[in-house]
Structure 1
Amino acid sequence: LCVRCLALTEAVNNKDRLRYPMIRKKEDRGKDAWERISWDEAYNLIEEKLNYYKENFGAESVMFWKGTGRDIATYLSRFAWSFGSPNLTSGINGIACYAPRVFGCTATSGSFWVGDYSQQFADRYDNPNWKMPGLIVVWGNNPLISNSDGLYGHWVVDCMKRGSKLMVIDPKCTWLAAKAELWLQIRPGTDAALAMSMANVMIEEGIYDQEFVDCWCYGFEEYAERVAPYTAEKTSGITWVPEEDIRRAARLFAQSEGTVLQWGVAVDQTTEALPACQALSSLVMITGNLDNPGGMI
C-alpha cells in the first residue's frame, strides 16, 4: 500500500492539525502569529477578496488550483466556471504519480482519457450503447490490487468474461499477465522505447487507422520519422522483449475492435515519464481509439 495511506491516521489525528479557520495580519507575515476566527468570518473574507479581484481586475485574474482531483475535482471546476474564470489548473509538484499521464495526454490531445468499461451507464454491460473492448492493454498497472483513479479491477475481469482479450506489459507475472493473450516482460524503465517501436511497426505495416490520422492527427510525418529508428530488432535489445512479441503486440493493439490502454504509476515514475506517457498515448491516437466506444472515452 502507498506509504501516504499508511501514514494517514497520523495526519488525521496529529495534535498540530488545523481544525479551525486561522488568520494572520499583513504586518505579521513570516511569523507564527495566527489567530482563530469563526467560519462565518472566514467565508465572508473569502467572498470579499474574490469579489474584489473580480470587480477590479476581472474574473480571469483568479486562478483555481487543485491536486490530483479525487472528490473535490468536479466541485472546484464548477466553482471556477461559475465565478467566470477559465483558469483551472492542477498544482501537482514534480513529475510523478498520475501527472505525466494527465499532462502527456492533455498536451497532445486536449484531454485525459479512460477506458470504456461501461462506467457511464447505470445498467452497465446491458446498455445497448456499450461496446465491449476488443483488447485491454494493462501497461505498468495491476488493477486487481491497486484500484486507482476510479478504475475497479473487476471491470477488467468482467470484460474478459465477455470476450475482451488481454495484453499485459509488466516485468512481473501478475494474475492478469498469466491470463493474457500476450505478456511482455519488459525491462523496467524502457516503456517509451517499446511504445515507439510498436508505433514503428504499425506505420511500417500500414495497420494504423489512416482515416483517423488524416482527419485528426497533426505532425504525423514528423512522428513517423521520430519512431523510425526504433525497429523491433533494435528495441528488443533495449527492452528485453523478443522482436516477434513487439510485432505481435503492435498488431494486436492496432487491429482489435476497440483497444483500451489501462496504464499506471509504473510509467509515471520512470526517468522519461512525460515523453513516455506521450509515446503511449500516441499509440491510442494513431489507432483511432479516442472517443471511441470500446476504446478510450
Structure 2
Amino acid sequence: MNVSASASTDVSSTTTVTTTCRLCLVRCGMKVDTVNGNVVRITGDQSHPLSKGFLCVKGMASLDYTLSPKRVIYPQKRVGERGSGKWQRVSWDKALDDIALRLNDIVGKHGAPAVAVQALPPKEYFAYDIFCEAIGGATFFKQDSHQCFTPQFMADVLTYGNLITYPGFMEVDDAEVIMLWGVNLSETNGCKNQRVRDAQKKGARTIVVDPRPTRSAQEAELWLRVRPGTDAALALGLINVMLERGWYDRKFVEEWTVGFTALAERAALYPPERVAAITWVPAEDIRKAAEMFGTAGTSALYTFIGATMGGNSIAAIRLLGFLPALLGKIDQPGSNRFLLPTGLRMPGYYGARKDAGRDEDAHQRLSADKFPLLAGPEAITSPYPHPRQVIDAMLTGKPHAVRALWTSCNPLVSVAATYTELAAL
C-alpha cells in the first residue's frame, strides 16, 4: 500500500481499513483512512474490545514512521569495513541469492544448527519458524529466556498449567481490588490502563508494587515501594498475613491445591517485620495490602516486566500466583482469568501440542542439558536455547558451531553482555 502525508480532495475514493497496531504485543485497534490507495490518517478503533479507540504516542505516530526518510525499505549490502557505515543498495534478487548461497555453504559444512535465528514478538516470527523447518532445524532463540515473558509463562504453567498472572484482560470491571505488581500500565500499556480506570470509576481500589514513583503508583490507593529484587520476600509476607488471619478459602485449598502445608511453613518464616527489613516496605503497609487483597469480594493480581527481571523471577512469580489461588476464585469474574493458548504456531511459547512447534531433535539442542525445562524434550514452552549459550557457541564452536545469525532485533542491546556479543558477531 502506498503512503501519503496529504489527503486527496476526492472524498469519493476514500477507504477506511480496520486493522491493529503492530508496534507492541497489545495490538490496539486502528482505523486507517486511504485516498486513492494512499494512507492519509490513522485513528483509534472505537469498536475494538480492548483499546476502545485508544492509541499511545507510538501508535499515533505510525504514519510518521512509515514516511520517515530514515526507514530502510530496500536491501543494503555493506561495502566498507564493519562499523564504517558504508552501504550500497542492491536488488532483492541479488540480496536473496547472496544470502542463500552463504547459508547453504554454512549448512553444508556445519549443519543446519550452525544457522541461528533470533526473533521476538511482535515481529512476524511465523516466517522464522517456517525458515527453521525448511533448512532442517536452525538454532532458533529469543532474548527473553531468562527475563521478560518466558519466565512468567513458565512460572504460571508450573503452578496452574496455564498463563494467569499476565495482564491479558479485556476488562476488569468486576474486580474490587486490583494489585499491579511491577507493571506500570499508566505509562507503558495505555489501553489496559483505561480498563483499570474504568474499574476504578466503579469503585475498584488498586495496590501498586513498584520501587519507582510511577504514575500507576501515584494513582493507587496503596503503594508498596519494594526494594528491587525482593519480590519473593514481599509475596511470602503477604501470604503470611493472609494465612494467619484466615483470609483464604480453606475448602478450595483442600480440594484443588497441593503443597499447601509446605507453603504455610515457609510463609511462617516471613512475618511482616522481617519482610519489612528485607523489602523496605513498612510492616503496616504489608498488613494493609494483605487485608485489602484478602478480604475483598473479588481480587486480581497482574504482573510482568518488574517481577520477571530478577535473578529468581520464576520462584517470585510462582509466589505471586499463589496469592489469587488462596482466595479460591480462579477464572471467575473479577479475579484472575486463564489466558488460553491460541493453538497457533508460536515458536518459543506454546509447545503443549506436538504439532504447534518445530520437530527438531530436542536432545541435540543447545541448553537442553543445562536448562531442560527451557530447551529439553520436556520443555514447558516450545523449546529453545538460552541466548548466552548461543553466543558461547559462536565464540567457541562448542558444542557445535554457530556461523550465521538472522535477526530482526538488535542483539547488542537485547542480549546481556554486550561486549561478549560484539566479539561473537
**TM bucket, shorter chain:** 0.5 to 0.7
Once the two structures are TM-superposed, the CA of residue 292 in structure 1 deviates from its matched residue by: 1.6
Q: 1:267 to 1:13 in 2, by over 3 A?
A: farther
Aligned to 2:268: 228
Once the two structures are TM-superposed, the CA of residue 294 in structure 1 deviates from its matched residue by: 0.6
The answer to whether residue 178 in structure 2 is matched with residue 136 in structure 1 is yes
Q: 1:97 to 1:217 in 2, by over 3 A?
A: same
Distance 1:210 1:238 in 2: 29
Distance 2:294 2:122 in 1: 32
Distance 2:236 2:336 in 1: 20
Once the two structures are TM-superposed, the CA of residue 111 in structure 1 deviates from its matched residue by: 0.5
2:280 alignment partner, one of 234, 240, 265: 240
Aligned to 2:159: 108
Matches within 5 A, 1:65-214: 70=122, 92=142, 94-113=145-164, 119=170, 132-147=174-189, 152-214=192-254
The answer to whether residue 362 in structure 2 is matched with residue 282 in structure 1 is no
Q: 1:157 to 1:71 in 2, by over 3 A?
A: farther
Distance 1:248 1:195 in 2: 13
Q: Secondary structure at the match of 1:183?
A: strand
1:24 alignment partner, one of 104, 118, 139: 104
> C-alpha deviations, 1:44-88, integer Å up to 9, x for none?
xxxxxxxxxxxxxxxxxxxxxx97665869x89xx9xxxxxxxxx
2:257 alignment partner, one of 182, 192, 217: 217
- Is the Cα contact below 8 Å between 2:230 and 2:278 reproduced in 1? yes
> C-alpha deviations, 1:137-162, integer Å up to 9, x for none?
111111121129xx622111111112
1:96 partner amino acid: Q
Q: Which moved more, 1:108-117 or 1:283-292?
A: 108-117
Aligned to 1:37: none
Distance 1:232 1:253 in 2: 15
Aligned to 1:39: none
- Is the Cα contact below 8 Å between 1:202 and 1:251 reproduced in 2? yes
Matches within 5 A, 1:257-272: 257-272=297-312
Aligned residues: 236
Q: Secondary structure at the match of 1:152?
A: helix
Aligned alpha-carbon RMSD (Å): 3.7
1:278 partner amino acid: R
| Larger RCO (CA under 8 A, 6+ residues apart) | 1
Structure 2 residue ranges without an equivalent (≥5): 1-22, 25-57, 59-69, 78-91, 113-117, 131-139, 338-425
Q: 1:101 to 1:206 in 2, by over 3 A?
A: same
2:187 partner amino acid: I
- Is the Cα contact below 8 Å between 2:173 and 2:195 reproduced in 1? no
Distance 1:133 1:115 in 2: 16
Q: Secondary structure at the match of 2:175?
A: coil
Once the two structures are TM-superposed, the CA of residue 208 in structure 1 deviates from its matched residue by: 1.1
Larger radius of gyration: 2
Distance 2:254 2:106 in 1: 57
- Is the Cα contact below 8 Å between 2:152 and 2:166 reproduced in 1? no
1:106 partner amino acid: V
- Is the Cα contact below 8 Å between 2:167 and 2:302 reproduced in 1? no
- Is the Cα contact below 8 Å between 2:166 and 2:303 reproduced in 1? no
> C-alpha deviations, 1:28-51, integer Å up to 9, x for none?
23399xxxxxxxxxxxxxxxxxxx
Distance 2:197 2:72 in 1: 35
Once the two structures are TM-superposed, the CA of residue 243 in structure 1 deviates from its matched residue by: 0.8
Q: TM-score, normalised by structure 2?
A: 0.49
Distance 1:97 1:31 in 2: 31
2:157 partner amino acid: T
Q: 1:110 to 1:117 in 2, by over 3 A?
A: closer
> C-alpha deviations, 1:168-190, integer Å up to 9, x for none?
11112222222222111111111
Determine which structure has the larger strand proportion and give its number.
2
1:28 partner amino acid: G
Distance 2:277 2:223 in 1: 17
Distance 1:202 1:67 in 2: 41
